[in-house]
Amino acid sequence: MSERAGPLRALSANSALPALVLLVLMFAIYASRDPSALTSFGLGNLVNNALVLAVAAAGLTLVVLSGELDLSGSGVVAIANVVVATTSTGPIGSLGALAAALLVGALVGAVNGCLVTVFGLQSLAVTIGSLIVCQGVALMILGAPGGEVADAIASGVTGDVHGFPIAAIILIGLAAAWLALKNTRQGIALYAVGDDATAARLSGLDVRRTRFFAFTAAGVLYALAGYLFSAEIASGDPRVSDAFLLNMFASVAIGGTSLMGGRGGVIGALIGAGILTVMQKMLFALGVAEFYTNIFNGVIMVAAIFFGQIGALLLGLNRPRAA
């Protein structure tokens, strides 16, 4: 990491910058069609809509940075959601429900991490397996949409403090936690392992421990996303759509994180989630039929990754890897 190596290098170091420009651009189009977007209510609504995806994408970013993939995210969100919907009005209360959800998330993440690091299984295939298991478990806990979410949770997440939305406070907290983690030994290890696992091992980093940490932390964040999702919809739904999974990956990729690992960061994923949320609102404001957002989602995903790769290639960052 050289500090003064020209503007191109600086741009690549801040890989979330193009995403931020895109976010501002889309928001401008949206706001020009729908002026209510600029009111504090409109802004709060937007942040609340982006919250769940942003938190889940932040979790996925940790795994992707470490050079692995994790498809179990939407499954964990589903489990956390039904856990909250079935327990939060019971004796354990809303805090107990949060603890239970986070525990389940940590457990799923730890199992994924264990299967990938200890048994050396390919992360994509393993997490497809755990995704299906999680979806099944969610259906077993709650067979059909329903359940009840404690009012304290719903109002606690979607409310505001002196006019400032709580969702924004959660996101700022998440960003702050990431910036703190990024410069710790663990954070540096995450980048190093994802960039070149062999080199990281040779320089004394524990590759397995780093990846195990990434999977477990991701599981916790997915569960937190599921908890927040419960607050947003104020009920339980065991089926979280596959589109959510795609949106998680899209947020990560649009935010400038390389799916090959080692480059990017959580801030980018938060911006990516913001872009996808604003895009849906923008398309709606422009009068595009709702199902066509699927098409935009697919195209923007492919475009984000494609241009990310071109950008990396132009900057000479795409070092050839062993096949």
Partner 1 sequence: MTEQAEPTGRPATPQMPPAGSRPRLLSSELAPAALVFAATAALILGLKLMIPGFGSLQQLTAIMVTAIFLVVASFGQGLVILTGGIDLSIGTVMGIGGMIVANLTRGSDAALLYALPIALLCCAGVGVINGLGVALARLPPFIMTLSSATAFFGVALGMTAGSSQQSVAPALQRFVAGHWAGVPLPILFIVVFALAAALFQNRSAAGRQIYAMGSNPRAAAIVGLPVAALTVTVYGLSGLCSGVSGILLAGYSSSATLDMGAALLMPTIAAVVIGGARVTGGAGLYVGTLAGALFLSALSTAITALSFSQGLRSVIQGAVIIVALLLQSRRADRTAS
> CB-side exposure of 218: number of CA atoms within 13 Å?
34
Shorter beta-carbon distance to partner 1: residue 161 or 322? 322
Amino acid at 195: D
Q: Which two tokens stand for residue 297?
A: 């989602």
Cβ at position 14, least distance to partner 1 in Å: 23
* Residue 29 identity (one-letter amino acid): I
Residue linked to tokens 């990491």: 1
In angstroms, give the least distance from the CB of 301 to partner 1. 4
125 vs 177 by CB, closer to partner 1 = 125
d(CA 96, CA 219): 18
CB of 185 to partner 1, least distance (A): 20
Output 27 or 212, the one with its CB closest to partner 1. 212
Among 94, 59, 86, 96, which residue's Cα sits nearest to residue 74? Answer: 59
Q: Smaller CB distance to partner 1: residue 158 or 247?
A: 247
Q: Which is nearer to partner 1, 164 or 306 (CB)?
A: 306
For residue 303, the minimal CB distance to partner 1 (Å) is 9
Nearest residue (CB) to partner 1, 69 versus 98: 69
d(CA 190, CA 59): 13
Task: Give the nearest distance from C-beta 1 to partner 1 in angstroms.
Answer: 22
Rounded Cα–Cα distance for residues 128 and 130 (Å): 6
Cα 182 to Cα 264, 273, 313: the distances in Å are 11, 20, 25
Least separation in angstroms between residue 133's CB and partner 1 is 3
List residues binding partner 1 (CB under 8 A): 67, 69, 71, 115, 119-122, 124-126, 128-141, 143, 197-198, 201, 207, 238, 242-243, 245-246, 249, 253, 259-261, 289, 291-295, 297-299, 301-302, 305-306, 309, 321-323
**Residue 240 phi/psi, 5° resolution?**
-95, 130
Both tokens assigned to 221: 């964040």
